[in-house]
């Protein structure tokens, strides 16, 4: 990608983009919890910027669907019910299934290298038994998967969906899989890619997503989200 000493055009992010990333991260890790109001003056002071750029950043998240806007009342972090969780995983399936197809038809070798590395980090996180680290590695794996498709639209969609997935997890930690199970679910995906078995890969990714949906809709723990 970028050799050391190589001269690349400097790409400065706009302030709104930086703030949006911070907010997204805060929502993802739960420091901005579902239902919370984002008071402009408070956040602006906290971030050391004026209300202008902050409002621009918040509009980005509204467009993403992470915030909901009520006129003359304020902006709130969305709260997820069972229907949202189901929608999120169905949408993730759509995106990641498509990414899998593109990977199998594209540079499978490169994908295998990157995903094997991502799997290794997931294994390390599982050994540490740190839930946050596991979640981070889990998310990174899927983000890598979609990145490898080379489709920027799918990547943009996945970014938002993975944040929302993370929001689900903070609410219902009990249903997050055991470390060994988590690693295994991802290992079989990498194996299928290694074997070049497209049918198996698609079946596995569908199971990977839909099993979570079934788990949720059966026990229905997301109702506690509100």
- Residues near its own copies, by CB under 8 A: 12-14, 16-17, 20, 52, 55-57, 59-65, 69, 71, 87-88, 90-91, 93-95, 97-98, 102, 151-154, 156-157, 161, 164
Q: Is 38 in the site for DNA (CB under 7 A)?
A: yes
- Location of structure tokens 């420091």: 31
Partner residues linked to 37 by β-bridges: 76
* 3-class secondary structure, 187: helix
DSSP 177: P
Out of 53, 95, 212, 216, the residue judged to bind DNA by CB under 7 A: 53
Six token digits for residue 226: 């509100």
User: For residues 89 and 205, what is the distance between their CA atoms, to the nearest angstrom?
Assistant: 11
DSSP 37: B
Q: Is 36 in the site for DNA (CB under 7 A)?
A: no
Write out the binding residues for DNA, residues 66-95 only, by CB under 7 A: 69, 71-75
| Other beta carbons less than 10 A from residue 119's beta carbon | 19
Q: Is 51 in the site for DNA (CB under 7 A)?
A: yes
From its own copies, DNA, none, which one binds at residue 41 (CB under 5 to 8 Å depending on kind)? DNA
User: For residues 103 and 205, what is the distance between their CA atoms, to the nearest angstrom?
Assistant: 13
- The values of phi and psi at residue 70, to 5°, are -115, 120
From DNA, its own copies, none, which one binds at residue 129 (CB under 5 to 8 Å depending on kind)? none
Q: Is 15 in the site for DNA (CB under 7 A)?
A: yes
From its own copies, DNA, none, which one binds at residue 139 (CB under 5 to 8 Å depending on kind)? none
Residues of this chain that interact with DNA (CB under 7 A) are 14-16, 37-41, 49-53, 55, 69, 71-75
């Amino acid at each position: 990608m970028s050799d050391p000493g190589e001269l690349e055009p400097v790409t400065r992010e706009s302030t709104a983009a930086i703030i949006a990333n911070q907010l997204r991260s805060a929502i993802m890790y739960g420091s901005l919890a579902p239902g919370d109001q984002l008071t402009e003056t408070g956040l602006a002071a906290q971030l050391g910027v004026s209300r202008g750029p902050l409002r621009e950043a918040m509009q980005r998240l509204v467009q993403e669907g992470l915030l909901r806007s009520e006129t003359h009342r304020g902006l709130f972090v969305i709260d997820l019910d069972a229907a949202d969780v189901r929608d999120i995983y169905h949408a993730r399936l759509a995106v990641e299934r498509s990414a899998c197809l593109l990977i199998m038809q594209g540079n499978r070798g490169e994908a295998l290298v990157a995903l094997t590395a991502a799997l290794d980090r997931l294994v390390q996180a599982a050994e540490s038994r740190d839930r946050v680290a596991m979640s981070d590695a889990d998310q990174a794996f899927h983000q890598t998967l979609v990145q490898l498709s080379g489709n920027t639209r799918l990547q943009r969609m996945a970014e938002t969906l993975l944040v929302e997935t993370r929001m689900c997890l903070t609410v219902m930690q009990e249903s997050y899989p055991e470390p060994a199970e988590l690693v295994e679910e991802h290992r079989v995906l990498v194996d299928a890619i290694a074997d070049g078995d497209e049918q198996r890969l698609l079946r596995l990714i569908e199971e990977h997503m839909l099993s979570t949906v079934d788990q949720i809709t059966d026990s229905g723990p997301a109702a506690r989200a509100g």
